[in-house]
């Protein structure tokens, strides 16, 4: 029983050790070291160019030269094991060469050693290029030999993704480590994301496609919109890198695509949404006298103004070219003193709304209008109407709409 218990304890301890080891392997990340103290034990960062900085300060983390995200260019690069360098090793090259890396963050520091010997291995000028822009140079030569030296730092970059290149044009270069601000990280130089448009101008109600391009192509993306009240996205279910932007209301927002991997690279497009403006229609020409319709009424008996003849009634109704205007009377023959009614039927035959229609009818000789008896199926009779002139404020007539106006009239001598 005692042996069984002892064997059980040994197996249990071994199991715990295996589990603990598995946990370390699964979750620990030894690709960088986080700073825990400042140089000279100060409260704030105190390291400056020219200081020996053997460990990253607070708020920084250090990546060693052996990290596979550093790209060494040139045929002469070698890895040297040296206990004086950070993590007991560094890269160096004795001919013109360069090292490139990509990182997310706003600050970085370059750590290396410098010295001058009879062979003059290292260049007296190391040039720095950030995001394709030359940012000056520094010397690696000095009498004697100093290791883990802070040779360059930049604390004024915009927080984001940056590409850095250190290179020489004569002699060589050595590279020990870099420090990056705590919330930053190295990025695989071969990975990238971009959008096929950086800006998009849309009218309210319109849509347009936006596509993300990633390297490697297998990396997926997640889409976000800064203000979904201005524009929305419906991602293509068969290809998550294509999205359709739908403009909802006036304003500006940002659509962002972010990679679904450890680097979380992102690219954005600015969406400008404006209200669609309708073209101002060209006014139709006013009708000529030939556009007016003529109806004829006959006067019977003696007519001192026109004895025994015909009375011609010309009704001048002003109509838009998209309107038809038909005028009729309810009699063929009338005597002086007889009453009759004539009717105006106005129809909108066009495809657009006719705006602010006004009918203005002057009475001819021998005719008086009965203002109080005028009726209209739409609008109102203007208060300035008289027995010699009827004005009806019809208003708007929709396409296919019809308005009927009836005017009681009397034949006078």
Q: What is the pLDDT of residues 114-124, one digit of tens each?
A: 765 545 677 77
Q: What angle do CA 403, 406, 409 make, to 5 degrees?
A: 155
Model pLDDT for residues 166-175, shown as the tens digit of each residue: 999 988 888 9
Nearest residue to 257 (alpha-carbon basis) of 183, 163, 192: 192
3-state secondary structure of 22: helix
Which of 111-120, 196-205, 330-339, 354-363 is predicted with the least confidence, judged by mean pLDDT?
Answer: 111-120
d(CA 184, CA 31): 13
Work out the percent of the chain whose per-residue pLDDT is above 70.
79
What is the Cα–Cα distance from 305 to 120, expressed in whole angstroms? 127
Structure tokens at 285: 């020409």
Q: How far is CA 103 from the centre of its chain?
A: 26
Selection from 24-38, 108-122, 296-310 with the highest mean pLDDT: 108-122
Q: Give the tokens for residue 92.
A: 């160096």
d(CA 116, CA 146): 10
Which tokens hold the place of 26? 């699964």
CA distance 241 to 219: 9
Start-to-end CA distance of the chain, whole Å, equals 142
The model's confidence at residue 39, banded by pLDDT at 50, 70 and 90, is: very high
d(CA 19, CA 26): 10
How many DSSP H helices and E strands does the chain contain?
1, 33
- Which of 296, 327, 318, 330 minimizes the C-alpha distance to 409? 330
Local structure of 299: helix, strand or coil = strand
Say what the pLDDT of residue 19 is: 31
Q: CA-CA distance, 296 to 328, in Å (whole number)?
A: 9
Q: In what order do the strands lie in the sheet with 192-195?
A: 192-195, 207-215, 242-247, 231-235
Backbone φ and ψ for 149, nearest 5 degrees, come out as -95, 135
Question: What is the per-residue pLDDT for 177?
Answer: 97
Q: Are the C-beta atoms of 151 and 140 separated by less than 8 Å?
A: yes
Return the SS3 of 338.
Answer: coil
> Residue 395 is encoded by which pair of tokens?
């208003």
Asked whether the predicted pLDDT for residue 87 surpasses 90, the reply is yes
Token pair, residue 325, equals: 């205007």
Residue with tokens 């730092």: 153
Cβ(72)–Cβ(101) under 8 Å?
no
pLDDT band at residue 284 under the 50/70/90 scheme: low
Query: Quick one: DSSP state of residue 122?
Result: B
User: Per this entry, what is the length of the chain?
Assistant: 413
Assigned token pair, 86: 């950070």
- Closest listed residue to residue 330, CA positions, set 368, 301, 297: 297
Structural domains of the chain ordered from first start: 33-187 (2.60.120.260), 192-274 (2.60.40.1080), 289-411 (2.60.40.1170)
- Cβ atoms of 219 and 259 closer than 8 Å: yes
Q: Poorest-confidence range of 4-18, 20-34, 95-109, 326-340?
A: 4-18
From the list 189, 195, 185, 193, the residue with the least C-alpha distance to 219 is 193
């Amino acid at each position: 029983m005692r042996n069984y218990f002892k064997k059980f304890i040994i197996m249990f301890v071994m199991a715990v050790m295996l589990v603990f080891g598995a946990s370390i392997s699964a979750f620990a990340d030894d690709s960088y070291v986080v700073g825990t103290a400042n140089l000279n034990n100060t409260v704030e960062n105190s390291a400056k160019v020219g200081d020996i900085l053997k460990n990253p300060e607070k708020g920084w983390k250090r990546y060693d030269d052996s990290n596979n995200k550093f790209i060494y260019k040139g045929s002469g690069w070698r890895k040297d094991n040296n206990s004086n360098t950070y993590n007991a090793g560094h890269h160096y090259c004795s001919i013109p060469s360069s090292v490139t890396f990509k990182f997310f963050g706003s600050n970085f520091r370059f750590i290396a050693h410098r010295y001058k010997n009879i062979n003059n291995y290292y260049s007296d000028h190391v040039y720095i290029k950030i995001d394709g822009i030359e940012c000056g140079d520094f010397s690696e030569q000095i009498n004697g030999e100093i290791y883990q030296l802070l040779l360059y730092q930049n604390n004024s970059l915009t927080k984001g993704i940056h590409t850095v290149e250190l290179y020489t044009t004569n002699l060589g270069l050595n590279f020990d480590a870099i420090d990056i601000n705590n919330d930053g990280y190295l990025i695989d130089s071969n990975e990238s994301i971009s959008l096929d448009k950086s800006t998009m101008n849309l009218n309210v109600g319109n849509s347009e496609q936006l596509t993300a391009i990633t390297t490697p192509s297998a990396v997926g993306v997640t889409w976000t919109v800064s203000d979904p009240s201005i524009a929305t996205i419906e991602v293509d279910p068969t290809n998550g890198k294509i999205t359709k932007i739908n403009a909802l209301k006036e304003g500006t927002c940002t659509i962002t695509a972010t990679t679904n991997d450890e680097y979380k690279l992102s690219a954005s497009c600015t969406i400008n949404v404006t209200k669609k403006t309708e073209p101002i229609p060209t006014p139709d020409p006013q009708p000529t006298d030939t556009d007016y319709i003529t109806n004829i009424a006959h006067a019977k008996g003696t007519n001192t103004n026109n004895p025994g003849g015909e009375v011609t009634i010309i009704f001048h109704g002003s109509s838009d070219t998209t309107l038809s205007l038909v005028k009729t009377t309810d009699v063929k023959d009338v005597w002086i003193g007889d009453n009759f009614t004539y009717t105006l039927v106005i129809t909108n035959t066009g495809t657009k709304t006719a705006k602010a229609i006004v009918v203005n009818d002057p009475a001819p000789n021998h005719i008086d209008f009965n203002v109080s008896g005028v009726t209209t199926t739409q609008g109102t009779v203007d208060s300035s109407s008289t027995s010699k002139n009827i004005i009806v404020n019809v208003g708007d007539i929709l396409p296919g709409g019809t308005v009927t106006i009836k005017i009681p009239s009397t034949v006078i001598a």
